[in-house]
Structure 1
Amino acid sequence: MKQENYSIVFSSLTGNTKKLADTIYEMLPKDKCDYFGANELKVPQSDLLYIGFWTDKGNADNKTLELLSQLKNKKIFLFGTAGFGGSDVYFKKILGQVKQSIDSSNVIIGEYMCQGKMPQSVRDRYIKMKENPEHPANLDVLIKNFDCALSHPDMKDLEKLKKLMMK
């Protein structure tokens, strides 16, 4: 089968999604890459697009959603990171939200999500909230999740993505 030209376009607030983009780029023929880089809201010429995003309130970031809404007749591989991770159910829910922004003329050829570290300001906000006697009951769980996310995407996450790319 002849490999077609592709583009890898991503938004990465903290560098997590860029790690995934770099991993995808490693797996594909460099001579077939039309574009690799940040989402500049320009529709790439390639018919095959690898589009990466960071999660914002249970959906892709706004810049990614805007790009996705412009695409027509493309093959799309979605990949993303979410600070609140560890659950395939949660990741599927996010991907379901993201897909609502994609025109039906496009074909989703694959998808991958994993947990990603969050900015330190998030943990600082949780700690500050704990000072309030009437703080949310789940703050300790949120802090534990933040601490767990610090190592992600890790080698296991990247290996899982590589295996998916080889299918």
Structure 2
Amino acid sequence: METERYSIIFSSSTGNTKELADTIYEVLPKEKCDYFGVSKEEPQSDKVYIGFWTNQGNADKETLELLKKLKNKKIFLFGTAGFGGSQEYFQKVLGQIKESIDSSNKIIGEYMCQGKMPQSVRERYVKMKEQPNYMPNLDMMIKNFDSALSHPDKNDLDKLRKMVEE
């Protein structure tokens, strides 16, 4: 079966989602790629890989705006989240994102993994702990930050590679 033309469009504030986009681009035939990069314009390709970073349990604003414009596309969603080493959390985020996608589109795949966050986030948590009545889950948030530092890792990228190849 001949591979159809595609575009890879992504938003990446810390480089994590770009790493996923690069992995997808490595797997797919380069000659079939119409566009690779950041864009607010509707892609010409019928098949579109759309990457996002998670902001408050949803995709970033730019990605949501792009998704709302798309009609009659085959969409593969991929993204990263600093919080959430759990599939349940990732599914919740993907569910939120899908609410912004027109029903004329078809979701052909989805992938999320944890991604590292800026050091300033950890510093903010540590500073919050200095307050007399700090949030009880702050230690858990610091632990999550530390575990996210290695992501996306080789295992994350291998899983994505396998999904795209199928």
Equivalent in the alignment of 2:66: 67
C-alpha displacement at 1:85, in angstroms? 2.1
Cα distance in 2 between the residues matched to 1:133 and 1:101: 41
C-alpha displacement at 1:2, in angstroms? 1.4
For the pair 1:13 / 2:1, whether they are aligned, the reply is no
CA displacement, residues 84-119 of structure 1 (integer Å, 9 cap, x when unaligned) = 021000000000000000000000000000000001
CA displacement, residues 8-32 of structure 1 (integer Å, 9 cap, x when unaligned) = 0000000000000000000000000
Equivalent in the alignment of 2:106: 107
Equivalent in the alignment of 1:28: 28
Equivalent in the alignment of 1:46: 45
* Helix, strand or coil at the partner of 1:67: helix
1:78-89 paired onto structure 2 within 5 Å? 78-89=77-88
* Helix, strand or coil at the partner of 1:78: strand
Equivalent in the alignment of 2:91: 92
Cα distance in 1 between the residues matched to 2:115 and 2:121: 13
What residue identity is the alignment partner of 1:16? N
CA displacement, residues 48-98 of structure 1 (integer Å, 9 cap, x when unaligned) = 000000000000000000000000000000000000021000000000000
CA displacement, residues 103-138 of structure 1 (integer Å, 9 cap, x when unaligned) = 000000000000000011110110010000100000
Structure 1 vs Structure 2: percent identity of aligned residues? Answer: 72
* Helix, strand or coil at the partner of 2:43: coil
C-alpha displacement at 1:163, in angstroms? 1.2
* Helix, strand or coil at the partner of 2:17: helix
Give 5+ residue unaligned stretches, structure 2: none
Runs of 4+ in 1 over 2 A off after TM superposition: none
**CA RMSD, Structure 1 to Structure 2 (Å):** 0.5
Cα distance in 2 between the residues matched to 1:116 and 1:53: 11
How many residue pairs are counted as aligned between the two chains?
166
Give 5+ residue unaligned stretches, structure 1: none
Cα distance in 2 between the residues matched to 1:128 and 1:119: 15
- In the superposition, the TM-score normalised over structure 1's length comes to 0.98
